[in-house]
Each structure stands twice: as C-alpha cells, then as structure tokens.
Amino acid sequence: MGRIFINYRRQDSEGYVGRLYDHLVQQFGVDDIFMDVDSIAPGADFVQVLEDAVASCDVFLAMIGPQWATIEDGNGERRLHQWNDFVRLEIASALKQQKWVIPVLVGQAQMPSPDMLPDDLQAFVRRNAIELSHQRFGHDVEKLIRAIKEAMPANSSIKTRMDTETQRLKADQLKAVRDDLVRATDSPLYAYRTENRYFPVLGEGNPDANILFIGEAPGSREVEQGRPFIGPSGDVLDEMMQSIGLDRDDVYLTNIVLDRTPDNRSPNREELAFYAPFQDRIVDIIRPAVIATLGRFAMEYLLKKLDLPEKRGKISQLHGKLIQATMPYGPIHVLPLYHPAVVLYSASQKDTLRRDFEKLKLFI
C-alpha cells in the first residue's frame, strides 16, 4: 500500500488522474502512490479491504470532477448515495480514520454542498480544496505536492540513519536496561528464573530500528539461550521478514514480559505491571515508527495501554490493519499480526501472514 491514496471515479475524472499520477510518481515513487484496489477475493469483506487500504495511507486525495456528486447508475440512483459505492466508502473511511483528506477539483468542478452528500460524508465539505486547472496544470500540481509534503512532515514512517556514535549510545542504553533486568530480584518471575537457571530475554536487533516486533513472553528455548524468537516460530518470523527484504539486524525483537512464565501461561496483571517500565524504556530508546504486535495477547495489551479505539477489537478483525497512535516521542503506527506460531498449526494462514507483513514495506 502507498502513502498517498488517490480516490476517484473513472467516469468523472480519470483523464486528470493519469496526469496527476505521473507527476506524483516523479516526486514520491511508484510504491508511495496507491490508486486502485486491484482485486478483492471472493468472499472477502470488501468494506474491510477498502478500510485497510485507506489505513495504510498518510494523505488521501479525493478527485472531484463536474459530475462527481450527481453521476447515476442505470436505475437513476445517485452512485454517491449507494451504501456500497467504493468512492463513498473510501472517503468515509478516510474521514473516520482522521486521515489528511485533500479534495482535488478538476474540470472546473466546485465543492459539493452538504445537502448533496450522504450523512457519512458531511465532514468532507469542511476540507479545504485545491484546484487543478487544465491551463495551469503543472503549476497547480506543484502546489498540491507542497501541500502533500507539509502533511507528511519529516516523512515520519522512515527514520534517518543514525551515525555511529548514536548507534553506540543506544546500544549502551539497551545494555543498561538489560543489566537492570538481570538484577531485578523483585520481579514476580525472578525466583522461577533462578530456580530453572533461565536467562531473562530483553530482546535483540537494531537499537535504532524503524520496526519493532513485540510478542507475549519468551518460550523455553528463548530463556535457555537468552534470545527472542528462536525455534520453529522464529524460523517462520525470519521467513516472513525475508519475504519483504528484512533480516534480524534491520528490526528489533522483544516481548511484553521479559521472563518465561510457569507452564508457558499468559502473563498476569502483576507481571505485566512489573515489566511495563522496562518495555517503555526499550521503546523510548529505539523510537520505532511502527510497532508490530505478534499474537492476540500482545495486540490487546498494546492497544489498551495506548487507549486506542480499537482496543476491544479481535485479532481476526484487526490483523494487517495499520493503526495510528502517539508515543511521547511522536506519532507511530501499530500493526497487529498473527503470531508466527499460527503457521505451525494452520499452514493455510501462511499466505495471510505474508500479506499482512507486506504492510511493513511502508516503513523500510
């Protein structure tokens, strides 16, 4: 998915869209521009597919031609007022997700009045529009490009590469967190750790990663070696990362709870509360642009911690959906993913997991 979403109706503005696309590609690249949902699989929830597509963008361009609000279907019903109209669904989703929506007027079109729009598009008329005229097309597009760049300050999904000294400083800060974890004798899991001669598992990877993966808690192999995500689940995770051109040195891997729980049970409230400050320090040091949660438990924990509207959602509904959030250091995205172990129990989920990982390309 691209960072700039172009919403348009072919019968109304297709000619202008092609010209605009060519200009935008020169400025932002092909991978940053999204225009069409190419195909929706039979049986798929097409509303959810469109919402996911919109969720991945930073700026939403709504192309408005002269007939945009009045085009009718064969039965004389206005397309924009039909519940399943893709143009309407995409704009409504962008407004709901509080995307930066820019109406783009073409063919001497004007912004519609509220009485011309369905209820879920009423807020659209309050968005300031920009016009692309035929005579001044190049000049007008340059103005639009400036507006897009201003809406995406500092390209927040991509971090600039840190110098060697900063990398070393962050590595030292993570080492200090690990030292504190090793000495955390007041941890509710400390006795269990020492009785079994386990290691705590802080995490590993790039201390300045753009992408941070977070799971639930380390398993038996992980605490025996002091490394996260090894064994069969780790192999699946490595394969998924490699499918989008990543390896472990590019990302940071950690868990919500940094010690193994007895019988591999889910962490309790006391354990979550104890390890939360460690996790906060890890995130504040790395400052990722996206946190990819692995599994239901990690997803629920993080969405509730950030008090996001999706906090009551199920992973079957939210997996692969980019969710905007804010950390003390700035805006981020949260990407819920199925845990890699799901592939070990249901091979059919492998394609789903691979498609969801594709969303991370935006942050590479």
Final residue before a domain boundary, out of 103, 127, 155: 155
Q: Which helix (H) or strand (E) holds 12?
A: helix 10-28
Our count of domains for the chain comes to 2
Query: Where are the alpha helices (H) located in 155-254, listed in sequence order?
Result: 164-182, 190-195, 220-225, 232-243
Q: 197 and 97: one domain?
A: no
Q: 186 and 331: one domain?
A: yes
Q: 187 and 323: one domain?
A: yes
Q: 250 and 329: one domain?
A: yes
Sign (positive or negative) of CA dihedral 291, 292, 294, 298: positive
Buried b (16+ CB within 10 A) or exposed e, 116-144: ebeeebeebeebeeebbeeeeeeebbeeb
Ranges 102-106, 148-152, 237-241, 327-331: which has the least confidence: 148-152
Indicate the burial class of 197 (C-beta count within 10 angstroms; 0-12, 13-18, 19 or more): exposed
Rounded to whole angstroms, how far apart are CA atoms 102 and 111? Answer: 11
Buried b (16+ CB within 10 A) or exposed e, 219-243: beebbbebbbbbeebbebbbebbee
Compute and round to an integer the Cα radius of gyration of the chain. 23
DSSP letters spanning 68-89: TTT-B-TTS-BGGGSTT-HHHH
Q: Which helix (H) or strand (E) holds 316?
A: helix 315-318
Residues spanned by the domain of 108: 4-155
In this prediction the pTM is 0.63
Give residue-wise pLDDT tens across range 238-259.
999 999 999 999 999 999 999 9
Ranges 5-19, 182-196, 271-285, 286-300: which has the least confidence: 5-19
Per-residue model confidence (pLDDT) at position 37: 64
Q: 237 and 263: one domain?
A: yes
Final residue before a domain boundary, out of 155, 186, 221: 155
Q: 211 and 82: one domain?
A: no
* CATH number for the domain harbouring residue 144: 3.40.50.10140
* CATH number for the domain harbouring residue 351: 3.40.470.10
